[in-house]
């Protein structure tokens, strides 16, 4: 419980500080598929702030703060549970890479399936300026706090179909490379530092945990980053279903198939 609480607090704090760069990053990822559009970059960050103000820097922030504790609360207990079950079922040991990879991959897939619709809405909030850059439009569509999740998810289902909530899932599956790399490297480094520098201590020092986390995060992010670009661009796409498909009932659809 303490570990989960500490993880959520630290993650939300880091997200709050770095969120403007998160918005900028998402726009940079998406802008490549849009013609004749203002190009965002780190060098024109001041222009970004001047044009949209402080609120513009934090588009989608309320959803992130709402979702991050949910994701962490689900992910880490799921990871530990799966790791325990794999050890009991297959007899894999704590120092085996396959144990960490399998546990992280399964837990990541489950959490991505659950949270994908929420990240979809958040991404569209961040890049809505590409479709309509008026402040009034954004306020009308998204300025409802966490309630915006429900309102926009319902709109997506009505206009694009239920499965549109799961756009980007294939790209997210590629993103499983992140935990597949992160956790084995992280766990192996902790074991190395423990055996090398603190063999007689019950717990590993914070400095070594930080070193393990930083190194593994950098490597995992570098390997898996392309999936973020693919996913952001899939989230941005809107393909409305036809009125015929919307109104077609289950019976009519069954008859057509038969």
What is the number of other CB atoms lying within 10 angstroms of the CB of residue 83? 21
Domain membership of residue 257 (yes or no) is no
Structural domain that includes position 27: 2-242
Domain membership of residue 251 (yes or no) is no
Domain membership of residue 253 (yes or no) is no
pLDDT band at residue 252 using 50, 70 and 90 as cut-offs: very low
pLDDT score of 155 more than 60: yes
Domain membership of residue 195 (yes or no) is yes
Angstrom distance (rounded) from CA 212 to CA 191: 10
Q: What is the pLDDT of residues 66-80, one digit of tens each?
A: 888 888 888 888 999
Predicted TM-score of the model (pTM): 0.81
Could you please report the per-residue DSSP string of the chain? -HHHHHHHHHHHHHHHHHHHHHHHHHHHHHHTTSTT-PPP-GGGHHHHHHHHHHHHHTTTHHHHHHHHHHHHHHHHHHHHHHHHHHHHHH---TT-HHHHHHHHHHHHHHHHHHHHHHHHHHHHHHHGGGT---HHHHHHHH-STTHHHHHHHHHHHHHH-GGGGGTTHHHHHHTTHHHHHHHHHHHHHHHHHHHHH-TT-SS--HHHHHHHHHHHHHHHHHHHHHHHHHHHHHHH---PPPHHHHH--HHHHHHHH-
Q: By percentage, how much of the chain surpasses pLDDT 70?
A: 90
Angstrom distance (rounded) from CA 2 to CA 8: 10
CATH of the domain at 24: 1.50.40.10
For the chain, how many structural domains are there in total? 1
Average pLDDT, the chain: 86
> What is the pLDDT at residue 18?
93
Quick one: average pLDDT of 121-135? 90
Q: What is the pLDDT of residues 214-243, one digit of tens each?
A: 999 999 999 999 999 999 999 999 877 765
Domain membership of residue 130 (yes or no) is yes
Q: What is the pLDDT of residues 96-113, one digit of tens each?
A: 888 988 998 899 899 989
Greatest mean pLDDT range, 32-46, 140-154, 223-237? 223-237
pLDDT score of 51 more than 90: no
Domain membership of residue 210 (yes or no) is yes
pLDDT band at residue 3 using 50, 70 and 90 as cut-offs: low
Domain membership of residue 249 (yes or no) is no
């Amino acid at each position: 419980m303490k570990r989960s609480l500490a993880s959520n607090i630290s993650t939300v704090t880091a997200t709050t500080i770095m969120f403007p760069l998160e918005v900028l990053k998402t726009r940079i990822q998406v802008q490549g598929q849009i013609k004749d559009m203002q190009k965002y970059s780190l060098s024109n960050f001041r222009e970004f702030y001047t044009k949209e103000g402080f609120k513009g820097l934090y588009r989608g922030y309320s959803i992130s703060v709402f979702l991050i504790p949910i994701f962490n609360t689900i992910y880490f207990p799921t990871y530990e549970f799966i790791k325990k079950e794999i050890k009991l079922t297959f007899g894999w040991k704590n120092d085996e890479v396959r144990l960490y990879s399998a546990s992280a991959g399964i837990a990541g897939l489950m959490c991505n399936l659950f949270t994908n619709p929420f990240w979809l809405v958040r991404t569209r909030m961040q890049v809505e300026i590409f479709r309509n850059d008026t402040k009034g439009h954004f306020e009308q569509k998204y300025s409802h706090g966490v309630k915006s999740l429900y309102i926009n998810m319902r709109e997506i289902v009505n206009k694009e179909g239920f499965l549109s909530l799961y756009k980007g899932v294939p790209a997210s599956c590629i993103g499983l490379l992140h935990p597949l790399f992160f956790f084995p490297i992280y766990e192996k480094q902790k074991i190395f530092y423990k055996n090398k520098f603190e063999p007689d201590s019950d717990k590993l020092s914070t400095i070594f945990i930080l070193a393990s986390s930083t190194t593994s995060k950098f490597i995992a992010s570098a390997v898996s980053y392309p999936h973020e670009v693919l996913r952001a661009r899939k989230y941005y796409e809107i393909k409305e279903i036809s009125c015929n498909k919307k109104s077609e009932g289950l019976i009519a659809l069954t008859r057509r198939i038969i």
